[in-house]
Structure formats: structure tokens, C-alpha cells
Structure 1
Amino acid sequence: MNTRLIVSASLAAMLSACYVGGPRAYTRGTYEDPNTIEMLSDEFNENDLQLIAKKMAESLSNSPRFAQTDPQRLPIVLVGKLKNSTSEHIDMRSLGDKIQTALAQTGRFALVDQQARWDIAEEYEYQGSGYVDPNQAKGPGQQVSVDFIMTGDLASIIQEVGNDKLVYYKMTAKLNNVRNGLIEWTDEKQIRKKFERRAVGW
């Protein structure tokens, strides 16, 4: 058989294979329940975030210190800095927002948003610039004082032996009394996941 003919046939076969099994794009999708547990990788995922937020909100609202609160004078809480001590890039802002939302849904706390404070401060400056009717302008000095600040730290331990991998997360949260600095409540949420390395075939 002609060598040139063999090369041409081989090239055509390769091009055909590339066309059939070449690059693909995600073109069709479906909505999923955000509470569905599905681990596609060994990294921190949205289910871990939800588990942590739920645990902290339930633990805090059911603690003896806050089990009985006056509906007319709810404890004012600010979810402050949550530290990421893991080796992963984790959106701690989203984790803080999730905890804040879970606390608000208990109905036992009044919440102050840290980022909103800075936005409000900028608005005070604008309203005092002369562009706003002085009789309607808002200014500093009327905001509520926060009673408690929540801080936290997310740490992890990773163990790999052979084809097995264990990933352990521990989120520790503390509620600090702004007046005297005392820790009024603290708790932790532990998450342990096991993965098995398997060969991926084509």
C-alpha cells in the first residue's frame, strides 16, 4: 500500500477521533437542591459551610446564656473576623454571612453587619455634604451599640496513606462580650471526610 495513502488514512482517523471526543462544553444543566450532599472533590464545599452555620446558630440560641431573652431587648451581635487557618482558599465572608443569616432566623438576636457599617459611614458623609436637605439628613450618633462580637477560626488536618485520604475540619467560634471582654459562649463543629483514590479511565 502506498505510504502516502497510509499516512493520509491515519491522519483522517485522528481528526475524526478528535472531533468525536474533543473539547466539550457544559451546555445543559438542571437545578439541584442546595442541601444535597455531593462531594465532587476533597476540598471544603458548600455543604461544609451549611453544617457549620447551622451548628453555631443552634448552639448559640440554645445555650443557657441566651435560651431566655427579652423580646423587647434582643442581644445585639456582630459576626466579626473569621480566620482561615487551613491551606485552602475558603471564602470566609460567605461563611460569616451564612452564620449571620442562621442567627437572624432564630429570632433571638439582633444583628449588625460589619460591612454595612462602613457603607453607612460613607452615606453620612454624603448626606452632610450639602447635597441633601439638612432637615432630612441622617448623621452619626444614632446607631445602636453592639453587645457581642463573634469571632472564629477554621482549621484543618489532612492525612494521606496509600490510596486513602482523610480530611478533618474544625470550626471554633466564640462570642465575646464587648463591655468586659468575657467569652459568653463558645462551641466547635467538626467535619471528617474520607476519600479513596481511584484510577480514572478514558
Structure 2
Amino acid sequence: MRIAMVLTFLAIGTVMISGCGPKAFTKGEYDDPTRVELLDDKYNEADMQQMADTVIKAMVACDYVGKAPKPPVVIVEKVLNRTEEHIDTVSLTDKIRTALIKSGKVRFVNKEERGTISDEYDYHASGAVSGPSAKKKGGQIGADYILSGALATNVQQVGNDKFIYYKLTMNLTSLEQSTIDCTEEREIRKKFRKRSVGF
């Protein structure tokens, strides 16, 4: 009898634990990435898109870019994350860079591939590549500008309301003169209300 009771409690406990465990997502569908949907109080793809759009329009409209006799060459630095969240700022700069390249107003130096390019130069110089098609060091284009920025946040809680403020600042700095020739800020403020817990 005692063994039967123990087995019963073990069975009940197993069911309860499995019921409290993480649920597997078995059914999915495609969603519109441009639709704004606040699922939680974290930085999301809609925030990123709004910020990127603002920066892109400002950079293209900037006289040093839009009225330049030829597209300036830019190198991208990682956006500083001054928030307390884990935010993929590389995706943000990738989005900005992609749109600016498509605009035809800006050219970019691929900083991330410098090591690979250097290795390829060495391979070309080894004699494995035919003379006319072999690329040599010294032909790269130097950047005219550095695109850099910072993402900051401020969180305030008043009663049951939580206000989250994000600010992205992006600068286009001249490598030759060290002057900030283009700059833009985008601010986003979101409000959340604490969910009441009923019994």
C-alpha cells in the first residue's frame, strides 16, 4: 500500500513538472517584418528599422554626401551600445550600410575582410594566379569618412507605468580634417503599463 502511494505521488509530480516545463513551438507562419508589434519592453526590430530609416535619409540629404562630385568612401565603426540591454548593433549598421550603398550616394570600404584580402594578395603574388589577372597591393581606395555612433537609453518608472527612451546618434567624420560633416539623432519613447495580477 505504501509503495503504491509513493508511486502515485511520483507519477503526479512527473506530470506537474512536465506541465511546467518549456513548451515547444510546433506550428509557425511567416510574419510581416515591417509590422510594429510591441511584444515586450525590449529594443526590437521596429525600433531598429525606424532608427535606420532616419539615419539613411539624413546621410543622403547631407550636402557632403548628396552634393559631392563623386560618392564618398566610408568605413563603418561598430555603434557603441550604452544601454543595459544586449543589442545587436552590427545589424543596425548593416541595415544602414546596405541602404546607403543601394542609394548610389556612398561607397564603403570592407573593413571586416581586410585580413582575407591581404591573404588573397599573398596568394596572387605566389605565382599561382596568371599575371594579367593577379591583383597587387597598393590599389585599394582609402576612406574619406568614418561612420560611427552610439545607442543610449533611459528608463523611468512612475507607478504602474514604465517609460523607455532610446536615442541613436550617428556621425560621419572626415578622415582628412577630423570634422563631423554629417550627424543625425533618432529618439524613440515607449510606454508600458504593468500588468495587474489577479487571484
Task: Place the TM-score, normalised by the shorter chain, in its bin.
Answer: 0.7 to 0.9
Structure 2 counterpart of 1:30 = 29
In the TM superposition, residue 116 of structure 1 has moved relative to its aligned partner by: 2.2
| Residue ranges of structure 1 left out of the alignment (5+ in a row) | none
In the TM superposition, residue 161 of structure 1 has moved relative to its aligned partner by: 2.0
1:143 aligns with 2:137: no
Structure 1 counterpart of 2:42 = 43
RMSD (Å) for aligned C-alpha atoms: 2.8
SS at match of 2:77: strand
1:78 aligns with 2:61: no
| Residue ranges of structure 2 left out of the alignment (5+ in a row) | none
1:64-83: CA deviation from partner (whole Å, max 9, x where unpaired): 3333243xx21111222311
Structure 2 counterpart of 1:161 = 158
1:191 aligns with 2:188: yes
Aligned partners of 1:182, 1:11: CA distance in 2, in Å? Answer: 71
* Greater Cα shift, 131-140 or 22-31: 131-140
In the TM superposition, residue 120 of structure 1 has moved relative to its aligned partner by: 1.2
Aligned partners of 1:9, 1:135: CA distance in 2, in Å? Answer: 81
User: How do residues 47-196 of structure 1 correspond to structure 2 at under 5 angstroms?
Assistant: 47-70=46-69, 73-133=70-130, 136-196=133-193
Aligned-residue sequence identity (percent) comes to 39
Instruction: Return closer, same or farther for 1:106/1:15 CA change in 2, 3 Å cut-off.
Output: same
* Greater Cα shift, 103-112 or 11-20: 11-20
TM-score (norm 2): 0.85
TM-score (norm 1): 0.83
Aligned partners of 1:110, 1:189: CA distance in 2, in Å? Answer: 23
Aligned partners of 2:152, 2:22: CA distance in 1, in Å? Answer: 38
Contact residue 57 and residue 106 of structure 1 kept, 8 A: no
Q: How many residues align?
A: 199
1:179 counterpart letter in structure 2: E
1:75-112: CA deviation from partner (whole Å, max 9, x where unpaired): 11122231111111111211111110121122211122
Structure that is richer in helix per residue: 2
In the TM superposition, residue 11 of structure 1 has moved relative to its aligned partner by: 7.5
Contact residue 65 and residue 71 of structure 2 kept, 8 A: no
1:49 counterpart letter in structure 2: M
In the TM superposition, residue 129 of structure 1 has moved relative to its aligned partner by: 4.1
